[in-house]
Amino acid sequence: MNHSASSNSLAIDANGLAYLHNLDAQKSPEALKEAAKQFEALLINMMLKSMREATPKSELFESNANSLYSSMYDQQLSQILSEKGMGFADMFLAQLNKTNPQPQLSEHQSAGAHTVSQPNNNLNSEARAKITAFNANLLKNNYQADQLSNYSTQHKNNNTSSVVETFVDHLLPYAQMVQKSIGIPASHILGQAAIESGWGQHVITMPDGRSSYNFFGIKATNGWKGQFVDVITTEYVDGLPQKTSSRFRAYASEAEAFSDYASFLNNNPRYQQVIANSNNPLTFAHELSVAGYATDPAYSSKLINVINKIQSS
Q: Active-site residues: which are they?
A: 235, 260
Nearest to 254, CA basis, from 189, 160, 180: 189
Q: What is the DSSP string of 55-103?
A: S---GGG--HHHHHHHHHHHHHHHHHHHHH--SHHHHHHHHHHHHSPPP
Ramachandran angles phi, psi of 278, nearest 5°: -90, -10
Alpha-carbon distance of 212 to 218, in angstroms, equals 11
- CA distances to 49, 177, 270 from 266, rounded to whole Å, are 49, 14, 9
On the CB side of 75, how many CA atoms lie within 13 Å of its CA?
A: 15
- Number of residues assigned to the chain: 313
